Amino acid sequence: MIHHGDTEARSKLLYEELTEKIIGAAVEVYRALGPGLLESAYEECLCRELNLCGLAFRRQVELPVEYKGVKLDCGYRLDLIVQDEIILELKCVERVLPVHEAQLLTYLKLTSKRVGLIVNFNVSTLVKGGIVRKVL
């Protein structure tokens, strides 16, 4: 018999494992390319790497904003959704700002997803300063 806590622990572990795979893919792209390119180049290469890792993803996913019961197309797009679980926002900025983190949290709320990552490729060390993980 499976207890609810066991299932919860497993789903947490699954996200953790999936997050590690995604970060590993991002690190691989960063090692190959380094900083300084356009976000679109990193997105293209990361999609290739996610494919090589056997991870399913959707890119540039339209995100309608629901307002007073009506879904409105406001032009928002999520960079990537990996395994239909984790939102991945790619950046090439000097540093991740609170507004970027707030945007990711809003995306999580709007999509009812639990975990999101911001990957900023414009840093000297990706693992130490380029990745922000948010959980709802």
Tens digits of residue pLDDT in 16-52: 899 999 999 999 999 999 999 999 999 999 999 999 9
- How confident is the model over 117-129, as pLDDT tens digits? 999 999 988 888 8
Between the CA of residue 95 and those of 14, 50, 123, 128, 132, what are the distances in Å?
A: 29, 24, 8, 12, 11
pLDDT of residue 74: 87
- Return the axis-axis angle of helices 39-52 and 4-33, rounded to nearest 10°: 120
The range of the structural domain enclosing residue 112 comes to 4-135
What's the total number of domains in the chain? 1
Average pLDDT over residues 60-73: 89
- How confident is the model over 72-124, as pLDDT tens digits? 888 889 999 999 999 999 999 999 999 999 999 999 999 999 999 999 999 98
pLDDT of residue 112: 92
